[in-house]
Structure 1
Amino acid sequence: MPSAISTREHWIGSDQGQLFAQDWTPAGAHGEPILLLHDSLGCVTLWRDFPEHLAHATGRQVIAYDRLGFGRSERYPGALPLDFIDDEARRFFPLLRQHFGFERCVVFGHSVGGAMAVACAAQHGQACAVLITESAQAFVEHRTRDGIRAAELEFAREGQLERLRKYHDDKAFWVLRAWVDTWLSDDFSDWNLDAELAQVRCPILSLHGEQDEYGSAAHPERLTAVPGVPSQLRLLPDCGHVPHREQQPAVLQAVTEFLQHHLP
């Protein structure tokens, strides 16, 4: 029988507003916790049952939080800056570390959350034991922009913004525009993670769906090409942008085996 999971909700103060977080802790939890960073339209609720299953599979505490401006966290003050990926690691990762009291963690990010996970491992190397990316972007690719343009047209249809309001309430329009306007901006077109990846020293697992509509296999290939860093690339066949929902058993197995190997 799987171990019982206890879950708690948290409010974490910052100089810009409160963050909402939640943790899932199995009985007899061991080792470094896993910190989840969500995608561009995501939040804690949109991870659905994945955090609980991840806690069961690994025996580790799993922590997820809503970035400022998303989900149940407070509004973001103004427009999202172009350095928002590095800024997330610089400003908010230390607050989560302090609140939950961990010395080190496994940092796990989905989509742009994967880029933020890379930034966390680069800026806070002593605090990141393992880096896991899922469907992450390492640079701005034509496929990424094309996928965002297609999604923007979909959300322009009548009633589609209501899908976001269920999770982000009256912040939904800001969430959508923060995603679209940032990634389609000319000023963001040359963004990449090369400088951050050069600073990563912990083991890297990069998961990517072969049918990902927002990025080709060039992204995980770059993410796992850091010289001197043990890394593993897992391309998932018949899988799109959300492997933890589309192929959850394969994701859980890959993560569990990687952690068992690198964090015995």
Structure 2
Amino acid sequence: MSQSLPKLPSIQRVFLESIASSDPEGRFIEVNGIQTFYKLSIPQKHQQLLQQQQLIPNEPNKPVILLLHHILGNQYTWRLLMQPLADATGCHVIAYDRPTFGFTERPTHWEEGKNPYTQEASVEFVHQLISALGYEEKKISFVGVSAGGSISCRFAIKYPNLVHSLCLLAPSLKPEDQGPPPIGRHILGSAPGRLFLKAALYRYIPLTTLYHDCNSIPDWETVVKPNYRIPLTLPNFYESLSWLMKYFVPLEILPLKSYLARLPILYLSGDDDKYTHVDNHIEIYEEIRSVAPPDAKLEFKILNNCGHLPQDESPEEVFNSIVAFLNRVGI
């Protein structure tokens, strides 16, 4: 009787795993057939128990904190927040590379109805990831920046019973803020658009216009910029980004804002956000607050000398704001 040979991993998977192996804190897990790169930080007191071969205490009411990065970002953007958040809250903290970005696999084929490059697929991917990691019994405290904020909000609208709270950093909630206009998506989703992405992105990523002053970030030229650029050199990046644009449909969020307003929300905006002006953030927050119940736990804060990516420019203030907020709403 003949035996079938074991299925070999794709060249893309082998390459991604080889490159990612230089980061000892990173891990891979298969989620819906996609090899997904993520990092997990647990409180140091839990690490000490594990080193002593003791059980970690069961804390069923503690949420898991999930960090969602922006378009053209990756989990590296949370480097200054992960362990501090775990230690300060006693929660497990997860950051992952969304499909298309970072070291996560970029599928080139998919079954009908299972396109991984739609916005709704990004929302469902959160559900699948949390289950794959074994946290399906816990509620999620989201920390999402820009497009990560829109995915967090859409998840909260669809699965409110699974959400503990939302910490939104310069979130992209209006349709026009979530991505390029339809004509831009059409062009970038075409073969010529793909060539344009290849010619332009590596030179300009990370986009300095997303910051108040990128040169104020420690090790910007020597460490930070290269870590944002490395994924752009990996297999199928430009193809998958082009597909993301081709199939992009903005998430419906603000028409369903009454669902969001029932959840605890911390909304942070930089005073020098050149992508979504602070006045627009204030308008969106007030729109959500206008439909909130009397006992709603909603907070808004403006960060001084800060652009569209507060976790990079103002990590300490972001950390303090999140921890104080979570303590107030109960964690």
Q: Are 2:159 and 1:94 equivalent residues in the alignment?
A: no
Letter in 2 for 1:198: S
Letter in 2 for 1:170: P
Equivalent of 1:129 in 164, 175, 179: 164
Letter in 1 for 2:41: W
User: Which position in structure 2 is the counterpart of 1:36?
Assistant: 67
Work out the number of aligned pairs and report it. 249
Please show how residues 1-264 of structure 1 align to structure 2 within 5 Å. Answer: 9-28=26-45, 31-77=62-108, 84-101=118-135, 102-141=137-176, 156-157=199-200, 160=203, 165-168=229-232, 169-174=234-239, 176-177=241-242, 192-200=252-260, 201-217=262-278, 218-219=280-281, 221-223=283-285, 224-225=288-289, 226-228=291-293, 229-264=296-331
Letter in 2 for 1:55: A
RMSD value, Cα: 3.4
Q: Is the 8 A contact 1:24 1:61 kept in 2?
A: yes
User: Which position in structure 2 is the counterpart of 1:4?
Assistant: none
1:207–1:159: structure 2 CA closer, same or farther, 3 Å change rule?
closer
- CA–CA separation in structure 2 for the residues paired with 1:220 and 1:144: 20
1:66–1:234: structure 2 CA closer, same or farther, 3 Å change rule?
same
Structure 1 runs not aligned, ≥5 long: 1-6
Q: How high is the TM-score relative to the length of structure 2?
A: 0.64
Further displaced range: 135-144 or 107-116: 135-144
Instruction: Work out which of the two has the higher radius of gyration on C-alpha atoms and give 1 or 2.
Output: 2
Further displaced range: 249-258 or 38-47: 38-47
1:82–1:88: structure 2 CA closer, same or farther, 3 Å change rule?
closer
Letter in 1 for 2:91: R
Q: How high is the TM-score relative to the length of structure 1?
A: 0.78
- Residues 11-68 of structure 1 deviation map (CA, whole Å, 9 limit, x = unaligned): 3323342212110111346621210111101112232332123223333221011112
User: Which position in structure 2 is the counterpart of 1:3?
Assistant: none
Letter in 2 for 1:160: R
Percent identity over the alignment? 24
Letter in 1 for 2:42: T
Structure 2 runs not aligned, ≥5 long: 1-23, 47-58, 185-192, 206-225
